[in-house]
């Protein structure tokens, strides 16, 4: 008689099965290194922050960068304000694209910002074209 494999609480792909009590950490569990660092820094956050600020004020560029990064982190995204014509057809999308390129050429927006807006225009153009095709098919079916 063949031995049955021991149930080790894993799925066939090797991941832990739902509700497995044989392994894994409980949600919210912290690594022992993290807990050790937190214990060392316990009640010292304010003093360390004050020292970093003092060093930054003395001209320590690393400390200054650290403080500024915490106060005002780099912007990930910013709103773009340009005038574009409404896009209700593929021809309108061409006009909007031309206006977008003109805004880049005039220095009103960056090429990166224009690329993001262009991606939105392209997606919207596809939606408009799909709507136009649906309307044309419906009209053809009504005639038939």
User: pLDDT digits over 120-132, tens only?
Assistant: 999 999 999 999 9
pLDDT the model gives residue 61 = 92
Q: Which residue has the tokens 């593929």?
A: 90
pLDDT the model gives residue 34 = 87
Q: Which residue has the tokens 């919207």?
A: 124
Report d(CA 109, CA 117) in Å as an integer.
Answer: 10
* pTM, two decimal places: 0.48
Which residues, in sequence order, are bridge partners of residue 10? 16
Q: Residue 75 — pLDDT band, cuts 50, 70, 90? A: confident
Checking if the pLDDT of 46 tops 90, the result is no
């Amino acid at each position: 008689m063949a031995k049955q494999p021991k149930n080790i609480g894993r799925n066939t792909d090797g991941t832990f099965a739902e509700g497995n009590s044989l392994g894994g950490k409980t949600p919210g569990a912290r690594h022992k290194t993290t807990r050790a660092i937190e214990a060392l820094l316990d009640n010292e956050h304010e003093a360390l922050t004050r020292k970093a600020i003092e060093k930054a004020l003395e001209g320590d560029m690393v400390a200054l960068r650290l403080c500024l990064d915490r106060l005002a982190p780099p912007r990930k995204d910013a709103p773009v304000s340009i005038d574009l014509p409404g896009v209700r057809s593929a021809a309108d999308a061409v006009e909007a694209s031309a206006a977008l390129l003109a805004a880049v050429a005039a220095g009103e927006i960056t090429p990166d910002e224009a690329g993001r807006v262009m991606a939105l225009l392209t997606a919207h153009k596809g939606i408009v074209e799909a709507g136009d095709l649906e309307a044309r098919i419906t009209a053809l079916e009504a005639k038939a």
